[in-house]
Amino acid sequence: MKVNLFKTKRSRAYLFLYRFMQLIVNIIFKPLYRIEIIDREKSFYKDKLILCCNHFSAFDPVLMGEYYPRPVYFMAKKELFRKFFFRILIEFFNAFPVNRTGVDRGAINKAVEVINSGNTLGIFPEGTRSSGEEIGAGHKGLALIAYLTGAPILPMAICNLKKVSRGKKKIIWPKIRIIFGDLIDTEEIFKKYSKKEGIDILAKCAIEDLKKLFSKINY
C-alpha cells in the first residue's frame, strides 16, 4: 500500500495542525529541557530559505522543526523510509529520502523543488552527526543547493542536546540553548565568484558561522 504524505505545498489545515503540535511540544520541552532561544527575531524570514544547523544528536531535527516558526523540510537517510508507519510519520513532517553513499541527484533535485516552492529546507552541513564535542567539517551539498536556488542561509546552533542523550548518568537535564545567526546572502557571493569558488567559500562560511554561534552558547 503506497501512501505519500510528503507535499511541497501545504494546506491551511495542515499549517494549523503543525502550529498546534509545535505549541504542544513546546509546553512539554520548555520546562523539561529549560529551552533558551537567543536572537529568535532573526528567524522570522518569510521567503525561501536554507536553515543550517550543527548535528550532535538524532534529536536535532525535532528542535529545528519545533523552534523555527515555519515548517521545515529535511533530507533523511533512505533507510528510515523502509518501515511503513515511520515513513508516513516523517513524510508528514516534511522529510524526503537521500542516499548518503554518494551524490544523490534525485534528493538534490527534490531539495531545489522544496526551496523554489517557497519553503524552508533544514540542512546539517556536516553531513552526519559529529562524534566529538566540536562541529566538524562541512560538505558542499548545502552550498550547491544554495547556488541552484539562490536561497539565503540562516545558521542555527544548538548546544547541550548531546548531553540529553547520554542517558542514565544524567539525573538533571542540562539547559538546551538555541541561537540564530545572521542571514548569509548567497546570491551576493555568487556574483563575486565563479560557481566552484563560490561553493567552496560558502561551504566554509556556513561552518564558520555555526562555530561562532556555538561558541557563544557553549558554556
Which CATH number covers residue 121?
3.40.1130.10
Residue 61 belongs to some domain of the structure: yes
* Closest alpha carbon to 110 in 125, 87, 93, 94: 94
Rounded to whole angstroms, what are the CA distances from 102 to 65, 121, 175? 26, 20, 37
Measured CA to CA, the distance from residue 71 to residue 193 in angstroms comes to 32
Q: Encode the chain (219 residues) as per-residue pLDDT tens digits.
A: 566 788 999 999 999 999 999 999 999 988 888 899 999 999 998 899 999 998 888 888 999 999 999 999 999 888 989 888 999 999 999 999 988 777 778 899 999 999 999 999 999 988 767 666 677 777 888 999 999 999 999 999 998 766 555 544 454 567 899 999 999 999 999 999 999 999 999 999 999 999 999 888 877
| Structural domain for 118, as ranges | 36-217
Tracing cell 508507519 back to the chain, one arrives at 85
Tracing cell 515511520 back to the chain, one arrives at 86
67 with 87: CB under 8 angstroms?
no
151 with 115: CB under 8 angstroms?
yes
Residue 11 belongs to some domain of the structure: no
Tracing cell 567559500 back to the chain, one arrives at 201
Residue 17 belongs to some domain of the structure: no
Residue 130 belongs to some domain of the structure: yes
Tracing cell 556556513 back to the chain, one arrives at 206
Residue 25 belongs to some domain of the structure: no
* Closest alpha carbon to 156 in 73, 102, 104, 216: 216
Strands 49-53 and 153-159, by their bridges, are: parallel
pTM here is 0.89
Say which DSSP state 99 is in: -
Residue 21 belongs to some domain of the structure: no
**Number of domains observed in the structure of the chain:** 1
Residue 70 belongs to some domain of the structure: yes
Residue 71 belongs to some domain of the structure: yes
